[in-house]
Chains A and B, each alone.
Chain A
């Protein structure tokens, strides 16, 4: 049971408390490799086939865990997958309806630090999407490597659509110019619900505010939610946007094209330590790799 996967659990719900859980990545690989209660084979890497009964149990359990302990990013992800239902097909059809979306489905790009070169993006001129994205990542102290992979969706293409949604979440942050605190995450969930219609975003939008203080909740509903519903509802479906081909485009132009305008000003706090930790981990692995190379042969 060796951890082989790059991506680890991330809370897309409460990003103030991003934590990684190594046991999750190891456990899921092992689970999909070992015998399962259903005799079906996995349809893609990381797929964990469940019977309808297990899916129901997981839905209830993950809903309970997600609301009581939002740090459990894997549970938020699991709830998203078990409640997705027909919404993923609907999103896939939207992607098929646009040339850009079709290209995404064909090429299936992934967003993590090995597919997206942060150094190159940092060198782009100010005002471009690439530069804005890297700046936003640094300002919030987060990294694209902490997304939980999809496990509980049957169809591989729909699993990809779900994965794409998860990985593009940070782009939505960037394009709407929102930080990663709880209020902004919830505002973005309302936005995503209006724009994409995933049931999980709706659940988060409804139940998430229960965890806010009354003042923050009041601000959320008076300022952010109207913006989210108006902007998200009228904007182009963001799942069809091929962000990786638009690095050099001007951010304002993209926003005009998609029909997005900035959210009400948000509270930006200190950067999280997630990105720093990930960088340190990478540096440690790199130095271990280098020292292994230097070891003389016996």
Chain B
């Protein structure tokens, strides 16, 4: 019996591959997470954080799915509203720092890339700066609703129905349908904190990248300046859920998103996790392995597979 998300994916045509989610959930890696989890015992299930709540590991995926099913149709509007459009600057910085297409056509994969912001920027950058129309981006996302939005948005661009973009429903922790050593660039923007197990995501990223390939992650992170941090917290917890209620009729999803930012590991810790997965990074300091944007509100982490 096909789930409705599967039916949707199949309806949307050959661009969508067979959804791997039902397989993915069963074989989801049970590595430890960054959040404090209970010591595993025979009876007690492993737990992870869902915002400030603690939930069984198995539950996080479906809870996150509910969040993104709910926000998908308003995702871009809410991004613009809550960040006052600044997220566009961050994404521009992120992609232009990667210089896709500089050394010839690249095979890129944008994970948790649902609505296609990064993929579109990669393709545009390669085209405009390097006259490159052979670079391809595979957009992978666990959530069919987000992919649907991305597919819809891409229809407005020149890449629709070209080999340059493809949409895949896949779990970042379990991407077995993507072969080893096949990508030059792996990007994940504002998605990794929603994954149940960050080490599993990093491991898969390492596997599917070619030697010499780049791993790049754009994510909300810790603000170092205490004054800015206090203002940022106030804004996040007071304003954003109310904006969610007004604009999207959904404050809980935005409450989760805001809380999940606080639960994500700080920059040095995450950089170490990237190294533990087998990547080589820059020096273990700001400007090396990671680059803070807007004081640390967002941060770009990069690593290279040796």
Size bracket, chain B contacts: 20 to 34
**Whole-angstrom distance between the Cβ of A130 and the nearest chain B Cβ:** 35
A58 touching B246 by the CB < 8 A rule? Answer: yes
A152 to chain B, nearest CB (A): 10
Q: Does B245 contact A (CB under 8 A)?
A: yes
Q: Are B242 and A24 in contact (CB under 8 A)?
A: no
**Is B238's CB under 8 angstroms from A34's CB?**
no
- B251 near A28 with CB under 8 A, answer yes
Indicate if A74 sits at the interface (CB-CB under 8 A): yes
CB neighbours (8 Å) of B294 from chain A are none
- Given A50-B242, A51-B238: A35 in contact with B52 (beta carbons within 8 A): yes
For this complex, 30 residue pairs linking A to B, each with C-beta atoms less than 8 Å apart, are A1-B66, A21-B249, A23-B250, A24-B249, A26-B66, A26-B252, A27-B251, A30-B252, A30-B255, A31-B255, A34-B51, A34-B52, A34-B53, A34-B255, A34-B259, A35-B52, A36-B241, A36-B255, A37-B234, A51-B238, A54-B239, A57-B238, A57-B242, A57-B243, A58-B246, A61-B242, A61-B247, A72-B249, A74-B245, A75-B246
Partner of B237, one of A37, A61, A78: A37
The answer to whether the Cβ of B98 comes within 8 Å of any Cβ in the partner chain is: no
Residues A1 and B250 in contact, CB atoms below 8 Å apart: no
- Please measure, in the bound complex, the distance between the C-alpha atom of A64 and the C-alpha atom of B52, giving whole angstroms: 31
Closest 9 pairs between A and B when the two form their complex, measured CB to CB = A61-B246, A30-B252, A37-B237, A27-B252, A27-B250, A31-B251, A31-B252, A37-B238, A24-B249
Decide yes or no whether B253 CB sits under 8 A from chain A.
yes
Q: Tell me the B26-75 residues at the A interface (CB within 8 Å).
A: 51-53, 63, 66, 70
Partner of B252, one of A28, A37, A57: A28
1/0 per position for B248-269, CB-CB distance to A under 8 A?
A: 1111110110010000000000
**A-chain residues with CB within 8 Å of residue B247 when the two chains form the complex:** 61, 65
CB atoms of B242 and A27 under 8 A apart: no
* B234 and chain A: residue at smallest CB distance: A37
Report how far A75 CA is from B243 CA in the complex, Å: 12
Query: Interface of chain B, helix or strand or loop or mixed?
Result: helix
B259 contact from A27, A35, A65, Cβ within 8 A: A35
Rounded to whole angstroms, the CA-CA distance of A250 and B146 in the bound complex is: 56
Are B237 and A27 closer than 8 Å at their CB atoms?
no
Instruction: Mark A41-62 against chain B: 1 for CB-CB distance below 8 A, else 0.
Output: 0000000101101100110011
Q: In the complex, A62→B251 CA distance in Å? A: 13
The contact size tier of chain A is 20 to 34
In the complex, the chain A residue whose C-beta lies closest to that of B53 is A34
Measured CB to CB, the residues of A under 8 A from B are 1, 9, 21, 23-24, 26-31, 34-37, 48, 50-51, 53-54, 57-58, 61-62, 64-65, 72, 74-75, 78
Q: A31-B255, A37-B241 are in contact. List 18 more A-B contacts (CB 8 A).
A: A1-B63, A1-B66, A9-B249, A23-B248, A26-B70, A27-B245, A27-B249, A28-B252, A34-B52, A37-B234, A53-B238, A57-B238, A57-B242, A61-B242, A62-B246, A65-B246, A75-B246, A78-B246
Q: Which of A1, A34, A58, A64 contacts B245 (CB 8 A)?
A: A58
Q: B250: which A residues are within 8 A, CB to CB?
A: 23-24, 27
* Contact present for A23 and B70 (CB under 8 Å): yes
With the chains together, A28 CA to B253 CA distance in Å? 10
For B246, give the chain A residue with the smallest CB separation. A61
Q: Nearest chain-B residue to A63 (Cβ)? A: B246
Q: Which B residues are CB-close (under 8 A) to A23? A: 70, 248-250
C-alpha spacing A37/B238, complex, angstroms: 6
A54 in complex: contacting residue of B51, B53, B238, B259, CB < 8 Å: B238
CB distance from B232 to the nearest CB of A (A): 13
Smallest CB–CB gap between A273 and chain B, Å? 21
- Bound: A1/B245 CA distance, A: 16
CB distance from B235 to the nearest CB of A (A): 10
The CA-CA distance from A279 to B63 in the complex, in Å, is 29
CA distance A51 to B238 in the complex (A): 8
Shortest distance in angstroms between B49's beta carbon and chain A's nearest beta carbon? 12
A150 to chain B, nearest CB (A): 14
- Which chain B residues border A37 with CB–CB below 8 Å? 234, 237-238, 241
